[in-house]
Chain A
Amino acid sequence: MDGAVSETEHIERLAREAESLKIRLDDERQKLNDVTLSVVADRLEPISCINVKPRRVLKGHQAKVLCSDWSPDKRHIVSSSQDGKMIIWDAFTTNKEHAVTMPTTWVIACAYAPSGQLVACGGLDNKVTVYPLSLEDDVSAKKKTVGTHTSYTSCCAFPNSDQQVLTGSGDSTCALWDVESGQLLQNFHGHSDSVMSIDLAPSETGNTFVSGSCDKLVFIWDMRSGQCVQSFEGHESDVNSVRFHPSGDAVATGSDDATCRLFDLRADKEVASYTKESIIFGANAVDLSISGRLLFAGYNDYTVNVWDTLKCQRVALLYGHENRVSCLRVSPDGTALSTGSWDTTLRVWA
């Protein structure tokens, strides 16, 4: 019984320390909060007119499109769908170059490797599988299972090279895998609910990534140590999407709470919230233009909203999809935007 009492005391002591640390952290942040974003943004010219038009419609999936990624060649797109297929598109011609059928439906995640010669995908199979792309062979022939989670794979990305793949999962963890050996290189524990989205810091030498989770939190991780180095709270529901600002000093997020937000890493706080009274549906996907001035966000109300990140105003609305916008990516050179939807299509805007 004594043991139980001391455990309770132990918990209380830890809870008190946590409380005082939180107060100290808030104080520290408050001290540095010497300006508002709107004051800074007043120095900028307003955005005159966004002339982004629908340019291509990619048709071929039989069910909801769940994820997509641009090839480094700025021309090809990989997409994955609830129909169990992964398709490689030539976005210029809208031709399908490869269509791979996975063993399970709901292929939730897909990503291009930096070489453009390899793609990774996963979903309800709890796995991450890589496929080398070659025009001669059947792509499935050379597939390789690299990692396995204890729940679904929700997102994946290649950090810096084709040799490693980083995954996020419904089992609340992220994991770094060696592609060649399938070995688990690092495990990232900290979230208390499904990880929905990850993104790598833009610097080539960067060893950090960001994750967003159904626990409403956003974490910044050190890939080498496996430790969470920074966390951001603020969202009131699932964080569905996270993307680094091209400067590497901030992250943009989209959430089921119908807001998108911007968190500054160095000031260690939320600096902007992108919201309107008329927007009541969740944001599933976010990305930033290459200067970081524009934030694109895909919502459950079928629209893509374009936000001025600094003035926090909506500057354009892209209509076209006939169901939820589930994924969205700015091309590597910033000239085009791809969107994917539950309406089974992908669209390219430029």
Chain B
Amino acid sequence: MVMSTVQTRRQEVEQLRREATIKREKLSKSMKEMLDFIREHEQEDCLLVGFSSQKSNPFREKNSCAIL
């Protein structure tokens, strides 16, 4: 029991030491890059912007010939 506690604690400290060494960036920079990524891919995102025509939707209803 004592041994496993020591081991768990040691693992926790080792994990924290590792995490303390990682390189971080300012939130403003990483958020700007996320924003840029979204802008760059928005037009391909059919669930977001829809299909240019329903014909390009592979899951459109097949017998949807009635345009009212």
Interface residues, chain A, with chain B CB atoms under 8 Å away: 4, 7-8, 10-11, 14-15, 17-18, 21-22, 24-25, 28-29, 32-35, 37, 40, 43-44, 47, 50-52, 55-56, 74-75, 91-92, 190, 227-231, 245-247, 249-250, 264, 266-269, 271, 289-294, 309-310, 330, 334-337, 348, 350
Asked whether B47 lies within 8 Å of A289 as measured between CB atoms, the reply is yes
Chain B nearest Cβ from A32, distance in angstroms: 5
Asked whether B41 lies within 8 Å of A269 as measured between CB atoms, the reply is no
Asked whether B31 lies within 8 Å of A40 as measured between CB atoms, the reply is yes
Asked whether B26 lies within 8 Å of A247 as measured between CB atoms, the reply is no
What are 6 A-B pairs at a CB distance below 8 A?
Answer: A18-B16, A25-B19, A92-B58, A289-B47, A291-B41, A291-B42
CA–CA, A34 and B28, complex, Å: 6
CA–CA, A228 and B12, complex, Å: 11
Interface residues, chain B, with chain A CB atoms under 8 Å away: 2-3, 5-6, 9-13, 15-20, 22, 24-35, 37-38, 40-42, 44-48, 50-51, 57-61
Identify 19 new A-B residue pairs, CB closer than 8 A, beyond the known A18-B9, A32-B25, A293-B42.
A7-B3, A14-B12, A21-B20, A22-B16, A24-B20, A28-B24, A40-B32, A229-B22, A247-B37, A264-B34, A266-B29, A267-B24, A271-B31, A289-B47, A294-B47, A330-B47, A334-B46, A337-B47, A350-B57
Number of A-B contacts (CB under 8 A): 162
CA–CA, A37 and B27, complex, Å: 9
List, in ascending order, chain A residues with CB within 8 A of B25's CB. Answer: 32, 266-267
Asked whether B37 lies within 8 Å of A14 as measured between CB atoms, the reply is no
Chain B nearest Cβ from A237, distance in angstroms: 21
Query: Which residue of the partner chain B has the closest CB to A15?
Result: B9
List, in ascending order, chain A residues with CB within 8 A of B60's CB. Answer: 55, 350
Asked whether B27 lies within 8 Å of A75 as measured between CB atoms, the reply is no
Asked whether A292 lies within 8 Å of B44 as measured between CB atoms, the reply is no
B contacts with A: majority SS: helix
Asked whether B13 lies within 8 Å of A18 as measured between CB atoms, the reply is yes
Asked whether B15 lies within 8 Å of A228 as measured between CB atoms, the reply is yes
CA–CA, A29 and B26, complex, Å: 9
List, in ascending order, chain B residues with CB within 8 A of A231's CB. Answer: 15, 19
Chain B nearest Cβ from A334, distance in angstroms: 6
Chain B nearest Cβ from A51, distance in angstroms: 5
Asked whether B34 lies within 8 Å of A245 as measured between CB atoms, the reply is yes
Asked whether A249 lies within 8 Å of B34 as measured between CB atoms, the reply is yes
CA–CA, A22 and B24, complex, Å: 15
Chain A nearest Cβ from B54, distance in angstroms: 10
Chain B nearest Cβ from A27, distance in angstroms: 10
Within 8 Å by CB of A292, from B13, B16, B31, B38, lies B38
Interface centre among B10, B25, B34, B45 (most CB of A within 10 A): B34
Q: A18-B13, A44-B35 are in contact. Are A55 and B19 (CB under 8 A)?
A: no
Chain A nearest Cβ from B41, distance in angstroms: 4
Query: Which residue of the partner chain B has the closest CB to A43?
Result: B35
Query: Which residue of the partner chain A has the closest CB to B47?
Result: A289
Chain A nearest Cβ from B11, distance in angstroms: 8
Q: A18-B12, A291-B41 are in contact. Are A230 and B22 (CB under 8 A)?
A: yes
Query: Which residue of the partner chain A has the closest CB to B46?
Result: A335
List, in ascending order, chain A residues with CB within 8 A of B9's CB. Answer: 11, 14-15, 18
Asked whether B13 lies within 8 Å of A14 as measured between CB atoms, the reply is yes
CA–CA, A32 and B35, complex, Å: 18
Asked whether A246 lies within 8 Å of B41 as measured between CB atoms, the reply is yes
List, in ascending order, chain B residues with CB within 8 A of A245's CB. Answer: 34
CA–CA, A99 and B35, complex, Å: 43
Chain A nearest Cβ from B12, distance in angstroms: 5
List, in ascending order, chain B residues with CB within 8 A of A50's CB. Answer: 47-48
List, in ascending order, chain A residues with CB within 8 A of B3's CB. Answer: 7
Asked whether B15 lies within 8 Å of A247 as measured between CB atoms, the reply is no
Q: A7-B6, A310-B35 are in contact. Are A29 and B24 (CB under 8 A)?
A: yes
List, in ascending order, chain A residues with CB within 8 A of B16's CB. Answer: 17-18, 21-22, 25
